[in-house]
Structure 1
Amino acid sequence: MLVKYRGSYEKVAMGLLSFIPDLKDLNNLTNEMTLYQKDESHVLYLWKNKDNDFSGVVGVEVADKYIVVRQISLIPSERGTGNSLEILDELHQLYPDQNMMGSFDTTKLVAKWTEHNRHLNTEV
């Protein structure tokens, strides 16, 4: 389940974002958090797993006709189990009228999600 970021989640969000190599540096991480806190077009969501624990984070840039998935990060035990695709499914539910695009770092994942959904839609 995606939960929109708020200030009380700052430490959790920073911890989850720090799994991203570019955000291991505290200055980069702080700048990224500032972007999500001050720029209304950038939205950060924390993801809760089946046990209701915060286990991932996804940052998006929202525009009228599209959203850009800027980064997505999961704790190590949640990786490789389809959770990234589930997060993208939930994002699509939040933004059903916008096309989903990936950033340089997330393009392959978004393409995999798009292809996965294309197959699901043709099987129905």
Structure 2
Amino acid sequence: MLLDYKNDYEKISMGLLSFIPDLKDVARLKDEMEWYQNKENHKLYLWKSEETQDIIAVIGVESANDMILLRRISINPSFRNEGISYSISEALERQFPQKKIMGTLETAPLVAKWEQEKSKKNEQQELSADGNSED
């Protein structure tokens, strides 16, 4: 579940962001947090696991007229390779249905993989819908 960042989540957000190599330095990490908090079109979101109810990921986005730029994503290592990034991308798409999700140099491969998976799912749904209509 996608949650809006609140100051109550500062420590967990900083902990999750510190998994990103260029944010290991505390001063750099604090600058990053302030950057998201001080700009209206920049926002942090947290991801809460529906199974464990723990906050297991943080994302940083920048919003523009017709797009959402996924700037940062950091997932607790214990939950990686479970499709969390796809779930987060889908939630972002639901939250901003009129905007295209884009990635930075670091996040673009993740966004591209999510879009490929989304296309595959749509094709499979169309094929099964076509198969059901012939009955």
Q: Give the TM bin, normalised by the shorter chain.
A: over 0.9
1:27-78 per-residue CA deviation (whole Å, 9 max, x = no partner) reads: 1101110011110111100101121101100110011100000010111110
Q: Deviations over 1:69-121 (max 9, x none)?
A: 00101111100111111111111111111001001110100000011111111
**Amino acid in structure 2 at the alignment position of 1:13:** S
| 2:37 alignment partner AA | Q
Aligned residues: 124
Distance in 2, matches of 1:106 and 1:18, equals: 16
Q: Distance in 1 between matches of 2:120 and 2:98?
A: 20
Aligned equivalent of 2:22:
22
Q: Are residue 107 (structure 1) and residue 108 (structure 2) matched?
A: yes
Residue ranges of structure 1 left out of the alignment (5+ in a row): none
Matching of residue 68 in structure 1 with residue 48 in structure 2:
no
Correspondence 1:83 to 2:90: no
**Residues in 2 aligned to 1:103 and 1:59: alpha-carbon distance in whole angstroms:** 11
AA matched with 1:37: Q
TM-score by length of 1: 0.97
Aligned to 2:96: 95
Report the identity percentage: 46
TM-score (norm 2): 0.89
RMSD value, Cα: 0.7
SS at match of 1:100: strand
C-alpha distance in structure 2 between counterparts of 1:90 and 1:62, whole Å = 15
Unaligned runs of 5+ in 2: 126-135
Task: State the partner residue of 2:118.
Answer: 117
Pick the structure with greater CA Rg. 2
